[in-house]
A and B are shown apart, each in its own frame.
Chain A
């Protein structure tokens, strides 16, 4: 007989989960495995809300198995470590991001690119290697293999740092991989939301000259004064877009709504790179000519490997980079999801899990 979420593992756990495609979250009692040799067990203090949580909760990508407890921007304090754990001890502050497993033997894993591993295990909503579902950070505690646990830097705030575990690495990784991290590089950021605002902060910390593209003119003040971007362009204004022609070395495009690619390619210098980190539903339509004349590149990027995520956290701590957040109680989560859908947040919700998810 199939085990239920509550009985499949020996240690009780409590959280919030979606049960169906409405995506509405409600209390769930489930269970987590005992602390294995290489496991780190920790009490969850904060968990960021990522738009992916909403996609998953509503089964918008078609592979959600209910019930699903989202949350992959998780920070907490260690309560137990397995006998072979070397990097952590009880009381340490730690984080877990989007992955809790990978095959550890393929070329990608060997190169510290676990996010490219075809057997990667997401932090929530998918089968783990033991066949049971993974449950994410909207819960009282987590247990994870040491390899996928991040050391939390001393001077990085827990609450406003936690969104870096997804939003942060998602923009840090392509800025580095595509060589957009050199001082003086001209970088564009499309969209000013959870990903976009962190992209501006990271790019500025690398010494880039940053241009924000947005369809919301009233974000200009925030972009320039709040986030210290150098330029702001209303992407629906043809004149402004034309003036930007051929000026940017790279663009990080965070927008997941469908939007035209050609004006962004035009804004690139020769050899420039347009990197998608948001995932528009419709395929892009690109004239091959616009790639060929100018040797321009369209690429995508997805989170980052664990080693790189640690590097990103240390970089953020060093440069004072955190997300702009709104802290909420867990029972506000459904309202928060609705506001997220309307992009009504500056710029990430963070659930105060430690103070609001209790055993029932």
Chain B
């Protein structure tokens, strides 16, 4: 007889989960495995709300197995470590991001690129090595293999740093990999939301000259004054786009709504790079002429490996990069999800888990 979430593991846990495609979250009692040799167990302090949480909760990607307990921007304090754990001890502040497992032996894993492992295990909603489903950070505590636990840098705030575990690595990784991290690089960021605002901050920290491209003229002030972007362009204005023609070394496109990309290609210099980190649902249309004349590339990037995520956190701590957040109690989570859908947040909700998630 199949075990229930509550009985399949020996240690009780509780959190908020979605039961069906409405995506509405409600209190949920489940269980987590005992602390294995290489496991780190920690009490969750904060968890960021990522738009992916909403996609998963509503089964928009067709791979959700309910109940879904989201959350992959998780920060906490260690309560127990396995006998073979070397990097952490009780009392340490730690983080867990989007992955809790991978095969460990493929080319990607061997190169510290676990986020490209074909057998990667997502922090929530995926079958783990033992066949049970993973549950994320909207919960009281977590247990994770040491390899997938991040050391939390001393001077990085726990609450406003939590979103870096997904939004941060998602934008940091392509800036580095595609060589857009050199001082003086001209970098565009499309969309000013959870991903976009962090992309601007990282790019500025790398010394880039940053142009924000947005469909909302109203975001100009916050882009230039709040986030210290250098330029702001309304992407639907052909004149503004024309004036920026052939000017950017690269563009990080964070927008998940469908949008035309030809105008973005025209703003790239020869050999420029358009990097998708948001996931438009409809196929993107690319005219081959735009790629061939000027050797431009269109590519994508998905979070990042563990080594790089640690590097990103240390970089963020050093340069004072954190997310702009709205801290909320656990029971506000459904209202928060509704607001995420309307992009009504500047720019990431973070759940104050430890102080507001009540034991059943």
Is A283 in contact with B288, judged by CB distance below 8 angstroms? yes
Partner of A297, one of B271, B277, B297: B297
Q: Is B270 an interface residue (CB 8 A)?
A: yes
B113, closest chain A residue (CB): A270
B residues in contact with A63, CB < 8 Å? none
B323 CB → nearest A CB, Å: 21
Q: Is A59 an interface residue (CB 8 A)?
A: no
19 residue pairs of the A-B complex, CB under 8 angstroms, read A177-B295, A246-B118, A270-B116, A276-B291, A284-B288, A286-B286, A287-B283, A288-B283, A289-B300, A293-B116, A293-B302, A294-B116, A294-B300, A295-B300, A295-B301, A298-B299, A299-B296, A299-B298, A300-B294
In the complex the two chains form, what is the Cα distance from A298 to B293 in whole Å?
14
Partner of A288, one of B107, B177, B246, B276: B276
Q: Is B11 an interface residue (CB 8 A)?
A: no
Most buried by B among A290, A298, A300: A300
In the complex the two chains form, what is the Cα distance from A113 to B295 in whole Å?
10
Q: Is A130 an interface residue (CB 8 A)?
A: no
A281, closest chain B residue (CB): B288
Interface residues of A (CB under 8 A from B): 107-108, 113, 116, 118, 177, 246, 269-271, 273, 276-280, 283-302
Given contacts A116-B271, A296-B299, 12 further A-B contacts (CB under 8 A): A271-B116, A273-B297, A283-B286, A283-B287, A284-B285, A284-B287, A288-B280, A288-B300, A295-B299, A298-B297, A299-B296, A300-B294
Is B292 in contact with A276, judged by CB distance below 8 angstroms? yes
A247 CB → nearest B CB, Å: 12
Within residues 180 to 217 of chain B, which ones have a CB less than 8 A from any CB in chain A?
A: none
B residues in contact with A246, CB < 8 Å? 118
Is A279 in contact with B292, judged by CB distance below 8 angstroms? yes
Q: Is B341 an interface residue (CB 8 A)?
A: no
B residues in contact with A302, CB < 8 Å? 292-295
Q: Is B359 an interface residue (CB 8 A)?
A: no
Is A298 in contact with B116, judged by CB distance below 8 angstroms? no
Query: Shortest 8 CB-CB distances between A and B: which pairs?
Result: A300-B291, A291-B300, A292-B300, A300-B292, A116-B270, A270-B116, A297-B299, A285-B283
A residues in contact with B107, CB < 8 Å? 269-270
B residues in contact with A294, CB < 8 Å? 116, 300, 302
B210 CB → nearest A CB, Å: 20
A residues in contact with B34, CB < 8 Å? none
Q: Is B132 an interface residue (CB 8 A)?
A: no
Q: A271-B116, A295-B301 are in contact. Are A301 and B287 (CB under 8 A)?
A: no
B115, closest chain A residue (CB): A295
Is A116 in contact with B294, judged by CB distance below 8 angstroms? yes
- The B contact surface, by secondary structure, is mixed
Is B283 in contact with A286, judged by CB distance below 8 angstroms? yes
A residues in contact with B271, CB < 8 Å? 113, 116
Within residues 67 to 119 of chain B, which ones have a CB less than 8 A from any CB in chain A?
A: 107-108, 113, 116, 118
A residues in contact with B108, CB < 8 Å? 270
Is B295 in contact with A298, judged by CB distance below 8 angstroms? no
B residues in contact with A107, CB < 8 Å? 269
A301, closest chain B residue (CB): B295
Partner of B299, one of A277, A283, A284, A291: A291
Partner of A291, one of B269, B276, B291: B276
A203 CB → nearest B CB, Å: 19
Is A301 in contact with B299, judged by CB distance below 8 angstroms? no
Q: A246-B118, A283-B286, A288-B276 are in contact. Are A300 and B302 (CB under 8 A)?
A: no
A residues in contact with B270, CB < 8 Å? 108, 113, 116
Partner of A299, one of B177, B269, B278, B297: B297
Partner of A300, one of B113, B285, B296, B300: B296
A170 CB → nearest B CB, Å: 10
What 1/0 flags go to B50-66 for Cβ under 8 Å of A?
Answer: 00000000000000000
B residues in contact with A116, CB < 8 Å? 270-271, 294-295
A residues in contact with B285, CB < 8 Å? 283-285
In the complex the two chains form, what is the Cα distance from A301 to B292 in whole Å?
5
Q: A291-B276, A297-B299 are in contact. Are A279 and B283 (CB under 8 A)?
A: no
A61 CB → nearest B CB, Å: 9
In the complex the two chains form, what is the Cα distance from A294 to B270 in whole Å?
24
Most buried by B among A276, A277, A293: A293
Is A292 in contact with B302, judged by CB distance below 8 angstroms? yes
In the complex the two chains form, what is the Cα distance from A285 to B287 in whole Å?
9
A298, closest chain B residue (CB): B298
B289 CB → nearest A CB, Å: 6
Partner of A289, one of B279, B290, B297, B299: B279
B62 CB → nearest A CB, Å: 12
B330 CB → nearest A CB, Å: 30
B102 CB → nearest A CB, Å: 12
In the complex the two chains form, what is the Cα distance from A300 to B299 in whole Å?
12
B residues in contact with A298, CB < 8 Å? 286, 291, 297-299
In the complex the two chains form, what is the Cα distance from A290 to B286 in whole Å?
14
B64 CB → nearest A CB, Å: 16
B255 CB → nearest A CB, Å: 10
A106 CB → nearest B CB, Å: 9
A residues in contact with B297, CB < 8 Å? 273, 297-299
B301 CB → nearest A CB, Å: 5
Is A291 in contact with B113, judged by CB distance below 8 angstroms? no
B293 CB → nearest A CB, Å: 6
A14 CB → nearest B CB, Å: 32
A166 CB → nearest B CB, Å: 13
In the complex the two chains form, what is the Cα distance from A297 to B116 in whole Å?
14
Is B116 in contact with A300, judged by CB distance below 8 angstroms? no
A271, closest chain B residue (CB): B116
In the complex the two chains form, what is the Cα distance from A296 to B288 in whole Å?
16
A278, closest chain B residue (CB): B288
A25 CB → nearest B CB, Å: 26
A285, closest chain B residue (CB): B283
In the complex the two chains form, what is the Cα distance from A229 to B108 in whole Å?
27
Is A280 in contact with B288, judged by CB distance below 8 angstroms? yes
B residues in contact with A301, CB < 8 Å? 292, 295
In the complex the two chains form, what is the Cα distance from A230 to B57 in whole Å?
46
In the complex the two chains form, what is the Cα distance from A118 to B283 in whole Å?
30
In the complex the two chains form, what is the Cα distance from A290 to B285 in whole Å?
14
In the complex the two chains form, what is the Cα distance from A300 to B272 in whole Å?
11
In the complex the two chains form, what is the Cα distance from A294 to B108 in whole Å?
10
